[in-house]
Amino acid sequence: MTGFAQPGAPGASPSRPTRVGLIVPSSNTTMETELPELFARQSAATGLRYTFHSGRAALKNVTREELLAMVGKAAECAAAVSDADVDVIAYACLVAVMAQGPGEHAESERLIAKAAVDNGHPAEVVSSAGALVRTLSGIGVGRVAMITPYVKPLTRMVADYIEGSGIEVLDATSLEVDDNLAVGCLDPCALPGIARNLELDGAEAIVLSACVQMPSLAAVQAVEDELGLPVVTAATATTYEVLRALGHTPAISGAGRLLAG
């Protein structure tokens, strides 16, 4: 997590809600539904208000070529989103960052923060890739099992990235979907059954969705309650880091212990 704090950003005035900028793939349909839902629960618990402002970079199929092309648009999207004078920017394409190799989230966050500063609107910056590995480390998790929508080579790449951050991936299920719109149509109600089939012996947490596009919010609490392990997703980890960047204490119900506060 990096960036440049804005005066007053952690609590925008009563007349100005906190502004959250999102950079998402053009075909993404999930982050702009799950994050607002999570922040609506935060608002209900705290009275704080949030609005969302998105920039989009072209991505239709989850291939290495399209992912790398999307990365090239990140700074441009960051500058456009910062025009809204947002308080924080979330770079919400986990696999695009991870495709560049372990640890790359730090450089991506630096470039996005610089683009916002150069545009005259500095903002805190988090990435979904960085949020996932930092959150797992921060809650003391050293071994995970995970579910991804990706084809197996991409899942292996994500596992390698997570392991490059010092977290062992004990088991991973690939759903083998490469069309990003189709990923967004996957049924989150299927996730508890898939999670039951993971090898959980020795696991300290479950990554229920290692993808910002795979819907999972509806299943997070159910899987955590049933299997007894902390459940983290790309969306909940991103939300957690956005709140931390703003100086806001999580108070979100029904989305796992990470966000319960």
CA 47 to chain centroid, in Å, comes to 23
185 among known catalytic residues:
no
93 among known catalytic residues:
yes
Q: To which H or E segment does residue 168 belong? A: strand 168-174
Is residue 146 within 8 Å of residue 154, measured between CB atoms? no
d(CA 211, CA 93): 8
d(CA 41, CA 43): 5
Is residue 50 within 8 Å of residue 18, measured between CB atoms? yes
d(CA 182, CA 110): 31
Annotated catalytic residue within 77, 93, 185, 189? 93
**Which of 55, 215, 210 lies closest to 125 in space, CA to CA?**
55
What distances in angstroms separate CA 122 from CA 7, 23, 111, 115, 169, one per listed residue? 10, 15, 12, 8, 36
Residues known to be catalytic = 93, 211
